[in-house]
A and B are shown apart, each in its own frame.
Chain A
Amino acid sequence: MKTLRSVRGVSFIAALAMAAGAASAQPAPIKAGQFLDITGGGASAAEAAKLGIDMAVAEINAAGGIAGRKINMISADTQTDPTVALGEAKRLVQQEKVELMFGPVISQVLIAVLPVVNEAKIPQFGATGSEAITPQAAPYYFSVLINAESQAKAMIDQAGKVLNAKSGAIISDSGAQAKSFVEAMKREMEARGIKLTGVQEYQYRATDMTPQLLTLKRGNPDTLFLFASSGEDAGNVLKARDDLGWDPKVTGNYTVATFADAVIRVAGKEALHDTTGLNYTAFTYCDANLLPKPFGEFVTRAKAFDAGKAGRLSLPFAAALYDGVFVLKEGIEGSGKTDGPSVAAWIEANGAKHTGILGPLGATPASHFLVGPTALSAVYPDRILPGGLQQRFGCK
């Protein structure tokens, strides 16, 4: 019953604040819900997301808030369970009366709470990948994730145009993202006339991928499409490839690039030969003398903000979520309103002018994925500058 009491307390404070507001004209803080999958299956992504969001909120508050209103953040853990998530969404929206929401990182969690956030018209962003989350289903929600479909398109570009591969095999974990990746990849391969020689999957956090690779080896593909959800998983796949003395070119996904340090910890740097990954173009470089600034600065600030977490979490992912908070800020300040329809319309119309870490955004009334396949580049995972920037494939 603690929260019942705190509700009454909150409304009392709100009344005081209103009285105070009338006297001093200090604008009331803007309430934002941090709606993340802190425990359960979404935990590893959510932890990086939390770092990015916490940083953004701290910086925005230090600089005076959104439209002059400080952000008052209220946290919720969905436990990656739709049943719990719906209760938490109701707490944030109907009880705490938040005006904005940051998160989640798991599609199924968002789908479960859509009736609540849609009804309240809450501007929201998260890092979900499901194509089922369309602007019709979630009109006030944007995703900063490069979804599985975009990754498949970018990877097939790399394999087909650059490597000139005629055949490929797919290996992925068994998660939701991976499943939609495999579907998308099959479609893309058929469209490009690249022969699919085999599909295999492994459990998240498996350590021995030998049997899977043995199966795929039988098909003798030109390239191996690797969709991993953790750097350790990717490392174990690459290690098994070397242990078997098999050397197909590996066209890896976003994880292979951005968790390259974990890949190296597991498999050693030598295991990354003939391997590419994907990264946001904004987080890559070609000429070491011409480096993009914003991401490097973000990394420095992240280390100052929480050195421990910055050392082990995916900073590109954190940066994407960090930028998401700024996107909502721009939407509110640009439209001058905090309701979902106004903010969403503004972001759809003006996203291309965004100047944050992610660079120009691709949201339209037809798609609320802020980052599309064109914003991705294939990279050498092992060529990382101290700031975290990775060198694009083909650059010297």
Chain B
Amino acid sequence: MNRVRFDAATRLHLLLGIIAVAGSILLPALLGSAYWTHNFLIVNLFVAVAVLQNMLLADAGQVSFGQGAVFGLSAFTVGIVAGLWGHSYAAGFLAGVAMAVVLGLLFALPALRVQGYYLGFVTLSAAVVFPEMLVAFNDLTNGINGITRAVPALTTPLGLGLTPIALMVMALAIAALLFHATLRATRLGRRIRVAAVSPEAAMALGINPGALRFIAFTIAATGTGLAGALYVPVLGFVSPYAFRVDLSIFFFFSVVVGGNGQLIGPVIGVWILYLVPNALLADLANYRLLGYGFVALLIMLAFPDGVVGTIEALRRRRRLRTQVTGISVDRVLAWPGARPRPPTQGQAITVRGVRKTFGSLAALDGVDLAVIPGSVHGLVGPNGSGKTTLLNVISGFIALNAGSVAINGTDTSRAPAYRVARLGVGRTFQTPRVLEEMSIWENLEIGADVKGDHSNWLLALLAPFRTEWSENRPDLLAHAQRRVLEVLRTVAGDADILLLDEPAAGLSAAERRDFARLVRFLSERLGKTVLLVEHDLALVWKVADRITVLDAGQVIAEGPPDTIAADPRVRRLFIGGADA
């Protein structure tokens, strides 16, 4: 585990966020304003929930319109256990958080099946039904009358107008912000984000996206549950009226209005959405809703990416004009070390009689393939011959209809992609799955995250660029560099077997030469097995140890480059030049 490092923007957000939270708790207390003290206790409780909603939405990509129900369930459980059943507040607190986590896990179940707004609607249904359930089960919940439960120990001032509950709320909101910032800089946080932006890339990196959704929902529910449990001492009363669906919508909106994914966004969002209607417009009575509607509308028109998001976008746009130091293949090749080639007996990849049909079309029709460990194996064939399908079958992205696949002798015919990846199989995609939402450095780190080894030689070698690449995103990189970045990501993950899908597409002649050197380097110096799908036959013939030719889902030739080049069937297939 390496030390957590925040970039400049994160540090600024954290600083401002903590000042806002601490200031809004401390100042009204010192001034002795009970009204503002109460308002900001609520605001900061909501900030804690919204920060976690931000994590859930922006990092994990999970749309939940039901966080208000999680919050309310925790609060009501505290009310029931500590109020109706007469147990201590501490017991209620634990029960409340536990129930919140249970509901969070229930939300994660549909996330395995549906995503996006559809998931939002499922959770929204829960939020709509929740207060009705509280009323329906009135034997347990005291129904519509609610539960009164004061916690005097937490609401008696310690001095300077500060109560223990105020300090707890402050600590929770600050902890939520720090947690979110820290999570992003950790292996888990990066993997949550990869699973959200590109499930394919995630699985290629050995990540099970479903498992990470569960983790994200659990984290959010835990924090939301903590806030809900603190709601009881703040109010001294829980009632179904307080946990209507509006509350869930409020949390979601706070994130969007503040700026989806911006660390400090939820703080700004909650301040605007809670204080504007409840404090600034409170005297307007009937006109309050009108004012609220217009404020929300105007904010989205003026700040399309949310308040913080739009400001950050402007800041970024100014910075965009600067160049970023590219990733130099020479620098990687200059690595002085070397790894022994693995013994050339056995097979790194074994494919036997694989058949894969799409409808009535057989994309693969009884394909056999054996890749020798440590070799570079080329896979060529005309368009639609089944090259990429074969790659997908080997890496577990597509289930096969018949036949078998084995990696280093382990059968993987039925294994999901993330499990194949964990056997040491890394891959790239025709369109590079570079993660635009992450910094260039993070794109490398998520590779290293596969084995959790951040002290590996590649990151050490590139360390001089760490600060620069941490501040910039891959959209500054040229196309060829993005290809290299994707390959290096799998290298950073220490995969033994690399499946490269048309890596040279769109590269210039000079860039292809560099790329060829990189592939040879992978095999000769690092001992990697490389399976290369490529249209550029010249490149394949230059780097491959052996070549397999596919046509219409069948293997028509297999052998060393010279033999294949002489094969008349192959010549017929690629008539008209080497560059098919």
Using CB atoms and an 8 Å cutoff, list the residues of chain A in contact with chain B.
2-4, 7, 38-41, 75-77, 79-84, 86-88, 90-91, 94-95, 106-109, 111-112, 114-115, 130, 132, 174, 176, 179-180
Check if B12 is an interface residue, CB within 8 A of chain A: no
Q: Are B38 and A179 in contact (CB under 8 A)?
A: no
Instruction: Say yes or no: A94-B239 contact (C-beta < 8 A), given A130-B145, A179-B143.
Output: no
Q: How many Å from the CB of B6 to the closest CB on chain A?
A: 31
By beta carbon, the residue of chain A nearest B42 is: A83
Can you list 8 pairs linking A and B with CB atoms under 8 Å apart?
Answer: A2-B280, A4-B33, A82-B146, A82-B235, A82-B238, A95-B33, A112-B239, A179-B138
Instruction: Say yes or no: A90-B38 contact (C-beta < 8 A), given A84-B278, A108-B145, A111-B148.
Output: yes
Q: Are B282 and A76 in contact (CB under 8 A)?
A: yes
| Complex Cα–Cα for A179 and B282 (A) | 31
Query: Cβ of A88: which chain B residues have Cβ within 8 Å of it?
Result: 282
Instruction: Say yes or no: A132-B237 contact (C-beta < 8 A), given A4-B31, A95-B33, A179-B135.
Output: no
| Complex Cα–Cα for A79 and B283 (A) | 12
Q: Are B289 and A112 in contact (CB under 8 A)?
A: no
CB < 8 Å neighbour of A179 from B144, B148, B238, B288 = B144
Q: How many Å from the CB of A103 to the closest CB on chain B?
A: 13
Q: Are A4 and B237 in contact (CB under 8 A)?
A: no
A80, A86, A88, A106 interface centre (most CB from chain B within 10 Å): A86
| Complex Cα–Cα for A88 and B39 (A) | 9
CB < 8 Å neighbour of A82 from B31, B242, B286 = B242
CB < 8 Å neighbour of B144 from A3, A38, A79, A108 = A108
Q: How many Å from the CB of B50 to the closest CB on chain A?
A: 15
User: What 16 new A-B contacts, CB under 8 Å, besides A7-B33, A82-B242, A87-B278?
Assistant: A2-B280, A39-B286, A39-B289, A40-B241, A81-B242, A83-B242, A87-B38, A94-B35, A107-B145, A108-B146, A108-B240, A108-B241, A111-B239, A112-B146, A132-B145, A179-B138
Q: Are B34 and A94 in contact (CB under 8 A)?
A: yes
Q: Are B236 and A75 in contact (CB under 8 A)?
A: no
Check if B36 is an interface residue, CB within 8 A of chain A: yes
Q: Are A111 and B145 in contact (CB under 8 A)?
A: yes
Q: Are B36 and A115 in contact (CB under 8 A)?
A: no
Check if B516 is an interface residue, CB within 8 A of chain A: no
Q: Are A77 and B146 in contact (CB under 8 A)?
A: no
Check if B279 is an interface residue, CB within 8 A of chain A: yes
Q: Are B235 and A83 in contact (CB under 8 A)?
A: yes
Instruction: Say yes or no: A112-B237 contact (C-beta < 8 A), given A3-B35, A87-B38.
Output: yes
Query: Cβ of B138: which chain A residues have Cβ within 8 Å of it?
Result: 179
| Complex Cα–Cα for A130 and B241 (A) | 15
Check if B178 is an interface residue, CB within 8 A of chain A: no
Query: Cβ of A82: which chain B residues have Cβ within 8 Å of it?
Result: 146, 235, 237-239, 241-242
| Complex Cα–Cα for A13 and B327 (A) | 69
Chain B stretch 228-285: residues in CB contact (< 8 A) with chain A: 231, 235-242, 244, 278-280, 282-283, 285
Q: Are A77 and B145 in contact (CB under 8 A)?
A: no
| Complex Cα–Cα for A75 and B33 (A) | 18
Instruction: Say yes or no: A86-B235 contact (C-beta < 8 A), given A39-B289, A75-B283, A179-B135.
Output: yes
Q: Are A95 and B283 in contact (CB under 8 A)?
A: no
Q: Are B35 and A90 in contact (CB under 8 A)?
A: yes
Q: How many Å from the CB of A213 to the closest CB on chain B?
A: 22
By beta carbon, the residue of chain B nearest A76 is: B282
Q: How many Å from the CB of B555 to the closest CB on chain A?
A: 67
| Complex Cα–Cα for A111 and B239 (A) | 9
Q: How many Å from the CB of A121 to the closest CB on chain B?
A: 16
Check if B150 is an interface residue, CB within 8 A of chain A: yes
Q: How many Å from the CB of A46 to the closest CB on chain B?
A: 10
| Complex Cα–Cα for A315 and B42 (A) | 37
Q: Are B38 and A86 in contact (CB under 8 A)?
A: yes
| Complex Cα–Cα for A132 and B138 (A) | 14
Query: Cβ of B238: which chain A residues have Cβ within 8 Å of it?
Result: 82
Query: Cβ of B289: which chain A residues have Cβ within 8 Å of it?
Result: 39
Query: Cβ of A91: which chain B residues have Cβ within 8 Å of it?
Result: 35, 282
Query: Cβ of A79: which chain B residues have Cβ within 8 Å of it?
Result: 278
Chain B stretch 191-244: residues in CB contact (< 8 A) with chain A: 231, 235-242, 244
| Complex Cα–Cα for A3 and B282 (A) | 11
| Complex Cα–Cα for A199 and B34 (A) | 46
Q: How many Å from the CB of B317 to the closest CB on chain A?
A: 33
| Complex Cα–Cα for A176 and B135 (A) | 9
Q: How many Å from the CB of B431 to the closest CB on chain A?
A: 48
By beta carbon, the residue of chain A nearest B278 is: A84
Q: How many Å from the CB of B292 to the closest CB on chain A?
A: 10
A39, A75, A91 interface centre (most CB from chain B within 10 Å): A91
| Complex Cα–Cα for A4 and B238 (A) | 28
By beta carbon, the residue of chain A nearest B283 is: A75
Q: Are B34 and A90 in contact (CB under 8 A)?
A: yes
Query: Cβ of B278: which chain A residues have Cβ within 8 Å of it?
Result: 79, 84, 87
Query: Cβ of B150: which chain A residues have Cβ within 8 Å of it?
Result: 115
| Complex Cα–Cα for A135 and B328 (A) | 81
Q: How many Å from the CB of B72 to the closest CB on chain A?
A: 11
Query: Cβ of A75: which chain B residues have Cβ within 8 Å of it?
Result: 283, 285
Q: Are B34 and A3 in contact (CB under 8 A)?
A: no
Query: Cβ of B42: which chain A residues have Cβ within 8 Å of it?
Result: 83, 87
By beta carbon, the residue of chain A nearest B138 is: A179
Q: How many Å from the CB of A85 to the closest CB on chain B?
A: 9
By beta carbon, the residue of chain B nearest A42 is: B241
Q: How many Å from the CB of A45 to the closest CB on chain B?
A: 14
By beta carbon, the residue of chain B nearest A8 is: B31
Q: Are B236 and A115 in contact (CB under 8 A)?
A: yes
CB < 8 Å neighbour of A77 from B39, B239, B282 = B282
Query: Cβ of B283: which chain A residues have Cβ within 8 Å of it?
Result: 75
| Complex Cα–Cα for A81 and B143 (A) | 15
Q: How many Å from the CB of B510 to the closest CB on chain A?
A: 62
Contact with A along B337-363 (1 / 0, CB 8 A): 000000000000000000000000000
Query: Cβ of B285: which chain A residues have Cβ within 8 Å of it?
Result: 38-39, 75, 77
Q: Are A3 and B146 in contact (CB under 8 A)?
A: no
Q: How many Å from the CB of A394 to the closest CB on chain B?
A: 35
Query: Cβ of B33: which chain A residues have Cβ within 8 Å of it?
Result: 4, 7, 95
Which 6 residue pairs across A and B have the least CB separation, nearest first? A94-B34, A176-B144, A91-B35, A108-B239, A112-B237, A95-B35
By beta carbon, the residue of chain A nearest B241 is: A108
Q: How many Å from the CB of A22 to the closest CB on chain B?
A: 27
Query: Cβ of A86: which chain B residues have Cβ within 8 Å of it?
Result: 38, 235-237
Q: How many Å from the CB of B365 to the closest CB on chain A?
A: 59
| Complex Cα–Cα for A343 and B150 (A) | 27
Query: Cβ of A95: which chain B residues have Cβ within 8 Å of it?
Result: 33-35
By beta carbon, the residue of chain A nearest B37 is: A90
Q: Are B241 and A41 in contact (CB under 8 A)?
A: yes
Chain B stretch 32-52: residues in CB contact (< 8 A) with chain A: 33-36, 38-39, 42
| Complex Cα–Cα for A377 and B31 (A) | 54
Q: How many Å from the CB of A148 to the closest CB on chain B?
A: 11
Q: Are A39 and B35 in contact (CB under 8 A)?
A: no
Q: Are A80 and B241 in contact (CB under 8 A)?
A: yes
B38, B241, B286 interface centre (most CB from chain A within 10 Å): B241
Query: Cβ of A40: which chain B residues have Cβ within 8 Å of it?
Result: 241
By beta carbon, the residue of chain A nearest B28 is: A4
CB < 8 Å neighbour of B235 from A7, A112, A174, A180 = A112
By beta carbon, the residue of chain B nearest A106 is: B241
Query: Cβ of B135: which chain A residues have Cβ within 8 Å of it?
Result: 174, 179
Query: Cβ of A83: which chain B residues have Cβ within 8 Å of it?
Result: 42, 231, 235, 242
CB < 8 Å neighbour of A38 from B36, B38, B231, B286 = B286
Query: Cβ of B244: which chain A residues have Cβ within 8 Å of it?
Result: 81
By beta carbon, the residue of chain B nearest A79 is: B278
Q: Are B144 and A111 in contact (CB under 8 A)?
A: no
Q: How many Å from the CB of A395 to the closest CB on chain B?
A: 37
Query: Cβ of B242: which chain A residues have Cβ within 8 Å of it?
Result: 81-83
